[in-house]
A and B are shown apart, each in its own frame.
Chain A
Amino acid sequence: MDTPLLVFNEKGIYCEQADVYIDAWRPVDKCIVTHGHADHSRWGHKQYITQTNNVPIIKHRLGEISVTGKDWNETFTINGVKFSLHPAGHIMASAQVRVEYKGEVWVFTGDFKTEDDGLAEIYEPVKCHTFITECTFGLPAFKWEPQAEVFKDINNWWATNKSEGRTSILFGYSLGKAQRLLKHLDTSIGKIYTHGAVENMTEVVREHYKLPETTRITRDISKEEIKGNIIVAPPSAHGSTWIRRFVPYVTASASGWMTFRGARRRRAIDRGFVLSDHADWEGLLNAIDATGCEKVIATHGYTDIFARYLREELGYDARTEKTQYEEESAEIDKKIENED
């Protein structure tokens, strides 16, 4: 085949044969969207194709758009190219895109994680020849603990704060991380309150996903009522005037970047929990192995380092491609906010 099945051009990942983009970063006619985070589902495409459960999510974010929902593993053919969506485990309704033409199979992961988080559809390994993978945490320094352990720590932290008469404020991105936190908070400790941005998104995903009861923080809710309970808020609320009304409080952030002591200290967060919606080092390597692929294209994260490791140590035909998904060059603080 002359042109590769998928190419990276100035607008996004492009399939020429089908004239379709995947996660384009500039407006295009037809775009398959892997998940609802802003850097993957951009505004301005004429037609969106995405996983059915993601439809309300991107509609909430992008307004009235023309969008078609596809079921998991449902094959749809465009000009002879077979496409299907498979769970990526990153957040609710996040998908990998499988692309097949004349017996050649490519898979684009979007963002993914291999651990079952109890909310997102579980990551499904898909056999392919060429695997286009993210590698946000593609360094051996990143190793996630099982989430049960992390949530034990988070719930203990909440209980301790409560016993000291302080409110717990937990930061997590409004879509994905926030709901994962909600899902596993131990409501026998207290009540869960939410920042408006988190509550709005949570209302949308409740249509397809079961989540515990939450209370939106409004002006009518007194500080005394909230005291000792937990607030889930987006990272941008950190250091805002909104947060000051909850004194005395303790803050924590849940992100893969909390692996680095420096990242937490720089943001002056009291506590950092290492909890990510991306695959860690082992997760990435296991995922690649499970696809049985020969070629790997690393798109965002520590791409150069990760691709070199795949080439030199594991013998893959691995290279990197530039995309506009949270690049390596995007600095960490922004990553913490937009991670996952």
Chain B
Amino acid sequence: MKQFAQLIKKLDSTNKTNEKVSALTEYFQNANDADKLWTIAILSHRRPKRPVNTTLLRLWATEISGIPLWLFEESYHIVGDLAETIALVLPTSEEHSEKSLSQFVSEIIELRTLPDAEKKKYLHDNWLALNYFERFVFNKILTGSFRIGVSQKLMTRALSKATGIDEDILAYKLMGDWTPEKTTYKKLILEQNEEDYLSKPYPFYLAYAVEDNFQEDLGPISNWSFEHKWDGIRSQVIIRNDEVFVWSRGEELVTDKYPEFQNFLKEIPNGTVIDGEILPFGKGEIGNFNALQTRIGRKNISKALLKKTPVILNAYDLLEWNGEDIRQKPFSERRKILDELIQKCNCNEIGLFLSETMHFGSWEEASAERDLSREKRSEGLMLKRKDSPYLVGRKKGDWWKWKIDPFTIDAVLTYAMRGHGRRANLYTDYTFALWDEGELVTFAKAYSGLTDAEFRQVDAWIKRNTLERFGPVRSVTPQHVFEIAFEGIAESSRHKSGIATRFPRILRWRKDKPIEEANTLDDLKALIPK
């Protein structure tokens, strides 16, 4: 535990990626295999099931600390993290435990099955046998995931440095539903596996947003191919060796979530990799992104859900053909093969569509098409140079996105909640309302878009203008108007306002506007595309 706690402390005490990677690399070079495996598991959000509910944890922590429960709750609201609060209020200890991480984890797993009295004794003994930081880490394993600014990607990079195994291969090895209980470090990480290569995706090519006056810089418009920028889940579908693999842009293997794509095997030959967008496709047309939310979150995809929210792949590009990597061929050539493939097969039947390419004689024409984006349920246009290769990562020059402007509306700040982590103890999570028959109705929450200085200003104002407190939430005097931007809008029965907005964020603080001039719910409804 000492070693693992030191690692977490190091990771937690730097903002520099290089230092995080080197701390992790060093750990992966020195820790024992069982600890390494659990570290990988914990950092990829595979913690053991919670053995004790948090109500009991709080209760026992207050008993040992000798403080009343209300005082614990108040402290928790201020600290903003349960594991941290428990570690702080417990009596000080300078002990170090010699037990390893994996030993602790196996005890925690076993703990689930024990009666409460024994759980309590176990926690009591171990809390007092650990110093503050070890105790914090122990509580984190007990209560939740580690959010310490270490992405799976960063961890994979460190593991790659420590083992000499290629990062992409490691990324694949770490996919899926393995648990440390069912495998070993050697088996999971070190052993060669032919299948490792079978499903390997290509890194995605991502575009930057166009810059001001981009039209002048891009040269003749005839060099450019246009497409709509579809609003779904960017994905790669791989067909190799009679198997289908679906990867999301987050480099997550999501094959199981989209069983529809197994049908590709009927029409698409082995050795094909298609880059495209997964889109909801109820009623034979592209649906709203909101419909996809139900598919993204679920672990088990039921038949009912498949029927209710079917999806298709709208293909953008072809990366592999006949088992050959064709990313260096010009875009127009890759598209030619892709277009032929899709046109000649029963592709609509299997849910494989083409993202149509367009060619314009002038920027005015292109701009007119972009204006149709909302109607067509796209986010704007993509510009791809006809002779461009398929590059790796986000690169400027050959591909650009020309998005439509977001929707905006002026709303009133009504509630605020303390943030977490970096923003603990600062009121940074806001609820916004619109007028509806003389009353303010909540329509969205947003917690980004202000500068740190503005957040501090709003935070100070909130603390002085609180009407009521509900735990970490405060209602505030309606006094400030903010312009809220969002990408999408749809009717929703789950929202009080009857409207769901997509990716709402604060565009600016309208200090110039009194609350009477904020928008109404009807103004918002008028934005829903017909």
Residues of A within 8 A of B (CB): 139-143, 145, 259-266, 268, 270-272, 302, 305, 308-309, 312-313, 328-334
Task: Count residues on chain B whose CB falls below 8 Å from chain A CBs.
Answer: 33
B9-17, B191-199, B503-511, B517-525: which lies at the interface: B9-17
Q: Are B85 and A141 in contact (CB under 8 A)?
A: yes
Q: Are A302 and B78 in contact (CB under 8 A)?
A: yes
Q: Are A261 and B84 in contact (CB under 8 A)?
A: yes
- B424 surroundings in chain A (CB, below 8 A): 260-263
Smallest beta-carbon distance A91→chain B, Å: 25
Give the complex CA separation of A333 and B425 in angstroms: 10
A-B contact pairs, 20 of them (CB 8 A): A139-B74, A140-B89, A141-B88, A143-B88, A143-B92, A260-B84, A260-B425, A261-B84, A262-B421, A265-B421, A265-B422, A270-B13, A270-B15, A302-B74, A309-B71, A329-B464, A330-B460, A331-B456, A332-B425, A334-B456
- B72 surroundings in chain A (CB, below 8 A): 140
Give the complex CA separation of A272 and B132 in angstroms: 15
- A260 surroundings in chain B (CB, below 8 A): 79-80, 84, 424-425
- B459 surroundings in chain A (CB, below 8 A): 331
Q: Are B65 and A266 in contact (CB under 8 A)?
A: no
Q: Could you mark each residue 43-72 of chain B with 1 if its beta carbon is under 8 Å from any beta carbon of chain A, else 0? A: 000000000000000000000010110111
Give the complex CA separation of A308 and B73 in angstroms: 13
User: Most chain-A Cβ atoms within 10 A of its Cβ — which of B74, B79, B456?
Assistant: B74
Q: Are A141 and B75 in contact (CB under 8 A)?
A: yes
Give the complex CA separation of A264 and B84 in angstroms: 14
Chain A: CB-nearest residue to B78:
A139
Q: Could you mark each residue 446-489 of chain B with 1 if its beta carbon is under 8 Å from any beta carbon of chain A, else 0? A: 00000000001001100110000000000000000000000000
Give the complex CA separation of A333 and B424 in angstroms: 11
- The 8 Å CB contact of A331, one of B15, B75, B81, B460, is B460
Q: Are B68 and A313 in contact (CB under 8 A)?
A: yes
Q: Are A268 and B15 in contact (CB under 8 A)?
A: yes
- The 8 Å CB contact of A261, one of B12, B74, B463, is B12
- B14 surroundings in chain A (CB, below 8 A): 270
Q: Are A262 and B425 in contact (CB under 8 A)?
A: yes
Q: Is B426 an interface residue when CB atoms closer than 8 A count as contact?
A: yes
Q: 8 nearest interchain CB pairs?
A: A262-B424, A329-B463, A141-B88, A265-B422, A266-B422, A140-B89, A141-B75, A305-B74
Smallest beta-carbon distance B463→chain A, Å: 4
User: Most chain-B Cβ atoms within 10 A of its Cβ — which of A140, A145, A268, A332?
Assistant: A140
Q: Are A331 and B68 in contact (CB under 8 A)?
A: no
Give the complex CA separation of A120 and B151 in angstroms: 46
Smallest beta-carbon distance A149→chain B, Å: 9
Q: Is B423 an interface residue when CB atoms closer than 8 A count as contact?
A: yes
- B85 surroundings in chain A (CB, below 8 A): 141
Smallest beta-carbon distance B58→chain A, Å: 13
- A143 surroundings in chain B (CB, below 8 A): 88, 92
- B92 surroundings in chain A (CB, below 8 A): 143, 145
Chain B: CB-nearest residue to A332:
B425
Smallest beta-carbon distance B101→chain A, Å: 20
Give the complex CA separation of A152 and B453 in angstroms: 35
Smallest beta-carbon distance B13→chain A, Å: 6
Chain A: CB-nearest residue to B80:
A262
- B423 surroundings in chain A (CB, below 8 A): 262, 266
Q: Are B464 and A331 in contact (CB under 8 A)?
A: no
- The 8 Å CB contact of B426, one of A139, A140, A272, A332, is A332
Interface residues of B in 408-460 (CB under 8 A from A): 420-426, 456, 459-460
Give the complex CA separation of A102 and B68 in angstroms: 39
Give the complex CA separation of A259 and B74 in angstroms: 16
| Supplied contacts A266-B423, A309-B71, 17 more A-B pairs, CB within 8 Å | A139-B75, A140-B89, A141-B78, A142-B88, A143-B88, A260-B79, A260-B424, A261-B81, A261-B84, A262-B420, A262-B421, A265-B15, A270-B14, A270-B15, A330-B460, A331-B460, A332-B425
Give the complex CA separation of A152 and B432 in angstroms: 48
- The 8 Å CB contact of B456, one of A140, A145, A309, A333, is A333
Interface residues of B in 1-51 (CB under 8 A from A): 12-15
Smallest beta-carbon distance B261→chain A, Å: 41
Smallest beta-carbon distance B413→chain A, Å: 17
Chain A: CB-nearest residue to B19:
A270
- B70 surroundings in chain A (CB, below 8 A): 308
- A305 surroundings in chain B (CB, below 8 A): 71, 74
Give the complex CA separation of A168 and B1 in angstroms: 29
Q: A261-B81, A328-B463, A329-B460 are in contact. Are A140 and B422 (CB under 8 A)?
A: no
Chain B: CB-nearest residue to A144:
B92
Give the complex CA separation of A328 and B464 in angstroms: 10
Q: Are B88 and A259 in contact (CB under 8 A)?
A: yes
Smallest beta-carbon distance B16→chain A, Å: 9
Chain B: CB-nearest residue to A262:
B424
- B88 surroundings in chain A (CB, below 8 A): 140-143, 259
- A328 surroundings in chain B (CB, below 8 A): 463
Give the complex CA separation of A271 and B19 in angstroms: 13
